[in-house]
Amino acid sequence: MKILIVGGTLFLGRHLVEAAVARGHDVSTFSRGRHISGARPDVESLRGDRHADVSALMGRRWDAAIDTCGYVPGAVNRLLDVLATAIGHYTFVSSVSVYADFAPAGTDETSPLATITQEQLREAEEMATGARATSRSYGEMYGALKALCERAAEGRMPGRVLTVRPGLIVGPYDYTDRFTYWVRRVSEGGSVLAPGTPVRRVRVIDARDLSEWIVRMAERQQTGVFNATGAEDDLSFGRLLDVCRTVSESDARFAWIDETYLLDSGIQPWSELPLWIPQARNEIFEVRNDKAVAAGLTFRSLDATVRDTFEWDRARPNDEPLKSGISRDRERELMSDAPHPAR
């Protein structure tokens, strides 16, 4: 097959390229060219900007396209202005954040989706194209925007779209450093601040497992909506940190600190302490992926994911700061001032 990967040079896109090439496909990538460290000589690199210049795609044909970086519906429509008649199948990588709410027993593909106002949509589109100068991020609009992107794709290519809603994607080349923060911090040893309680549910999916499955689904021209969260293995935050400690052979000791104290101290969930979401909203880790598993989604062991992330992180420049997580000084301050550890 001839496959176009929109993105393809950073994290998930990079793994999609590897998976597609490994399965013998002829791969092209389309990106702005800002991140070329993962470029391969056997992969065609097309340069452009989905918001402004898609001329590199014109007059070309592919059997399938996989879109990793559509964040506003206008960007999806602009891309499909060119690709809708040039491809047979389109995969849109969305997110479980599209759901309006998360049920304790698990949310499935039929659950209600998040919404935003027309004014918010206009603002997001202007931000995406640079028409509005602002330091604000998409923030709470992210999930609803992804849902609108899904709708735009299906509207332009009815019956030819695969929509994948991943959970937290982790592994080597993860530019967010959310998972990597814990792998690195635990490997450093000593007393490690851990948020909430060790039994808190978490769930992760290795980018390589997700990529290999998406490529297989594209080969079959599979359509429809699929959640793609981590394995149904009742993974807890405590077990995740234990695996990080075992893999790195560190002497880390975990100080489980009450989340109310952390919130009162101004600590931001998910960014300053990655993977931590206050318990009242932790059901995002319960999103069901039975449908994807039935369609062939498989998972490598958590040990393998942690080990490979650890090795990748060790090979990075020593002075490269993590993009997520708190400093060691702030961590020590919080642990010394905490009234008592959580149980």
DSSP-derived 3-state class of residue 256: strand
> DSSP secondary-structure letter at 96?
G
Pairing between β-strand 62-67 and β-strand 87-93 as defined by DSSP bridges: parallel
Please check whether residue 325 is in contact with residue 273, taking contact to mean a CB–CB distance below 8 angstroms. yes
pLDDT at 151: 98
pLDDT at 219: 98
Q: Read out DSSP for 19-39?
A: HHHHTT-EEEEEE-SS--TT-
Q: In the chain, what are the domain boundaries?
A: 2-166
Measure CA of the first residue to CA of the last residue in the chain; give whole Å.
Answer: 53
pLDDT at 153: 98
Q: 10-residue block means of pLDDT along the chain (343 residues)? A: 92 96 97 72 93 94 97 96 97 98 94 96 89 60 97 98 98 96 97 96 97 98 97 94 98 96 96 92 94 98 98 89 94 89 52
Contacts (Cβ under 8 Å, ≥6 apart) of 87: 4, 61, 62, 63, 64, 65
Q: Read out DSSP for 136-166?
A: ---GGGHHHHHHHHHHHHHHHSTT-EEEEEE
> DSSP secondary-structure letter at 201?
B
Cα 170 to chain centroid, rounded: 7
pLDDT at 135: 43
> DSSP secondary-structure letter at 100?
S
pLDDT at 340: 60
Tokens standing for 254?
Answer: 């975990």
pLDDT at 232: 85
pLDDT at 341: 57
Question: CATH number of 2-166: 3.60.10.10, 3.40.50.150, 3.40.50.720, 3.40.50.300?
Answer: 3.40.50.720
